[in-house]
Amino acid sequence: MLIKNTSVLIGQELDYVSNTDIRIQNDKFKKINSKIKPILKEETIDCEGLLMIPGFINAHTHIGDSVGKDISLNNTVNEKIHPVFGAKSKILKKTSNEILGNFMKNTCHSMLRKGITTFVDFREGSLDGVILLKKVLEDVPLRSIILGRIEFYQDAKEIKKNLSFPSVKSSELSELLKKCDGIGVSGANENSNSVLNYYSKIPKIRAIHSAETIQSISQSKKITGKSETIRALTLKPDFLVHMTFASKSDLKIASKKTRGIVICPRANSSLAEGIPDIDLMQKSGCILALGTDNVMINSPDMFREMDFIWKVTMGLHKKRIDAKEILKMATVNGGKILNKNIGSIESGKFADCIFLDKHALDLEPMHDPHASIVHRASESAIKAVMIGGKIVHGKI
């Protein structure tokens, strides 16, 4: 396929090019240059008036709770989403796989229409939960990274005693990992150091929630006398999720020990738990990506996520932030943190992208493409979504 006369955000820095041609071959971007001549029988599409941008990477979701939208709004964080006794856990256990699957599929289609081409799900429900999500995705062309979890959690006494991972659970974990891309751990406060160390030897993606609330930080220090983030790093995670209340020293260590942090600002705000300090995180050397987190408390919309964190951060710190940096969190940085061949439009990367109408009512005239995308664009401006070189939503 040859895309002609398109505007595009190219490469790791999302540089704006007003008009160029792009060849897509074998599901990847093959060549980007002006005046590429079509080869014999090559499909050629004139994209004058469109802006091609990388597909969004929603780097942290829990779509299993799509059935529970806005339940327990006024409850505490633990009452809502604690993995053992929270409302979410009870809903998931009481709802049939058929009903769960239907609403999960709705969320997947919603993400596609909003330009999300890859999502990373912390999947509850052990092996059955992973299998259910894979079944949901059989006829949905989204890229998925499924991080499974066995339903094993330790209490404060077991963590203090540093009890090890039970051998009777090892075969269950082994079977789980055959079906998913890695492990998504609930947090250090449900696992002893010994268990986290056991998980650290898993030869797949490892990720963990950390420092999401002030209470979780206090709980870690109370139980073990150690920072929650320092304990989470025992997992040797590829990335951390949240870090909303991480200290400066924890952030500096995390920048050296992981590939980055996935922040979920709207979810944190929906839980009345604060805003991640992206200025401090960046100054500490952390690469940041964006996730929309639980569907139960938040819509899977990266346009809203970018707009929110951009303006709230500038309002809190009273200084400007380049909109390009926010857009990178939704695209390029997700690819870096996941260590996958996605997230940017450049030769050799998977051809995952969004085609935006530059003449959309909310965008024209587009004087600053990055700012326009971050705080003016929405699902309505999307003409088409491409994954692996195939149009999966809309048309061009």
How many residues make up the chain in this entry? Answer: 396
pLDDT at 87: 77
Give pLDDT tens digits along the chain (396 positions).
999 999 999 999 999 999 999 999 999 999 999 989 999 889 999 999 999 999 999 999 999 999 989 887 777 777 667 777 777 777 888 888 999 999 999 999 999 999 999 999 999 999 999 999 999 999 999 999 999 999 999 999 999 999 999 999 999 999 999 999 999 999 999 999 999 999 999 999 999 999 999 999 999 999 999 999 999 999 999 999 999 999 999 999 999 999 999 999 999 999 999 999 999 999 999 999 999 999 999 999 999 999 999 999 999 999 999 999 999 999 999 999 999 999 999 999 999 999 999 999 999 999 999 999 999 999 999 999 999 999 999 999
Domain ranges of the chain: 2-55+343-394, 56-338
Residues contacting residue 142 through CB under 8 Å, at least 6 positions apart:
108, 111, 112, 116, 117, 118, 119, 387
Domain covering 2-55+343-394, topology? Urease, subunit C; domain 1 (2.30.40)
pLDDT at 80: 66
Which numeric CATH code is attached to 56-338?
3.20.20.140
pLDDT at 391: 98
DSSP collapsed to 3 states, 342-384: CCCCCCCCECCEEEEECCCCCCCCCCCHHHHHHHCCCHHHEEE
pLDDT at 95: 86
Give the C-alpha separation, 274 to 189, whole Å: 20
Ordered strands of the 182-185 beta sheet: 288-290, 260-263, 239-242, 205-210, 182-185, 143-148, 116-122, 56-62, 293-294
